[in-house]
């Protein structure tokens, strides 16, 4: 897939205009990281706005273990092609999305704003990590957030991912314009079985009140595709799992 690469000056303008960084609310690159003195164990000390990272009781990600069976409506995806550019923001590789694609959850419509990747996965299932996790970040008109997570496991090559793999920006601050508008629906599992729980953003400011939907079916990707994401991201960009505390995980 052909792409257009932007200069650092142009990129700065475009990122500012986008108005929604990683997971919708995260701080700009450089203020926090996944390692050392600015890593996850220190996030709450870096800025008063990050207090929830250490003091919140409903933080994400979590280990998805011992869920409680319940009758719950399946999430309804009204996605269309809308992925226009991909940026390496220093924390993740993110695809920004045009308006018009929605998730219906709890009788509310949430607009898909962007999706991004973590390698390895942030959520675990019965203690098991996966090589890649995609987060589809949605927001409703009053600012409520809903995130859909898809956990990928090693196996056959994933053709839906290949247009992204071919143009992954491998340097922090690099942004590419996709030659063809990408359809996020191609990355969703066929089955709608899922876990539900109440959590937070997995990056600063770790805002709580996020509706989490973690899909149970795990699409595959090849070893080569895993390596491509790991190389582009350049680090393990997964926050450690957080205590479940009094929360209920529903499936």
Peptide bond into 186 cis (omega under 30): no
**Per annotation, catalytic residue among 78, 91, 138, 194:** 91
CA atoms within 13 A on the CB side of 225: 22
Task: Clarify whether 78 is annotated catalytic.
Answer: no
Inter-residue contact 135 to 118 (CB < 8 Å): yes
**Cα(102)–Cα(111) distance, integer angstroms:** 4
Q: Taking the CA of residue 2 as centre, how many other CA atoms within 13 Å lie in the half-sphere pointing to its CB?
A: 2
Q: Are 55 and 44 in contact (CB under 8 A)?
A: yes
Whole-angstrom Cα distance, residue 183 to residue 242? Answer: 32
What residues contact 91, with CB distance under 8 A and at least 6 apart?
A: 22, 26, 29, 33, 34, 203, 237
User: How far apart are the C-alpha atoms of 21 and 26, rounded to whole Å?
Assistant: 6
Instruction: For residues 60 and 234, give the distance between their C-alpha atoms in angstroms, rounded to a whole number.
Output: 22
Q: How far are the Cα atoms of 24, 106, 141, 242 from residue 206, in angstroms, in the given order?
A: 11, 22, 20, 12
Active site positions, annotated: 91
């Amino acid at each position: 897939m052909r792409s257009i690469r932007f200069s650092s000056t142009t990129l700065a303008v475009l990122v500012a205009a986008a108005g929604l960084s990683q997971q919708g609310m995260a701080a700009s690159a450089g203020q926090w990281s996944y390692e050392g003195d600015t890593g996850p164990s220190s996030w709450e000390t870096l800025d008063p706005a990050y207090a929830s990272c250490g003091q919140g009781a409903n933080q994400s990600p979590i280990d998805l273990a011992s869920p409680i069976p319940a009758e719950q409506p399946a999430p309804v995806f009204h996605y269309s092609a809308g992925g226009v550019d991909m940026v390496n923001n220093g924390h993740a590789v993110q695809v920004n999305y045009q308006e018009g694609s929605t998730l219906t959850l709890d009788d509310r419509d949430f607009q898909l704003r962007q999706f991004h990747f973590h390698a390895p996965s942030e959520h675990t299932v019965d203690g098991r990590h996966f090589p890649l996790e995609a987060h589809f970040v949605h927001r409703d008109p009053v600012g409520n957030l809903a995130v859909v997570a898809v956990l990928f496991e090693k196996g056959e090559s994933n053709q839906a991912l290949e247009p992204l793999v071919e143009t992954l920006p491998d340097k922090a601050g690099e942004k590419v314009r996709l030659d063809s508008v990408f359809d996020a629906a191609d990355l969703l599992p066929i089955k709608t079985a899922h876990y539900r729980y109440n959590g937070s953003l997995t990056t600063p400011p770790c805002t709580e009140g996020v509706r989490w939907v973690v899909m149970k079916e795990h699409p595959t990707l090849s070893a080569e595709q895993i390596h491509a994401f790991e190389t582009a991201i350049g680090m393990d960009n997964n926050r450690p799992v957080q205590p479940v505390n009094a929360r209920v995980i529903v499936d």
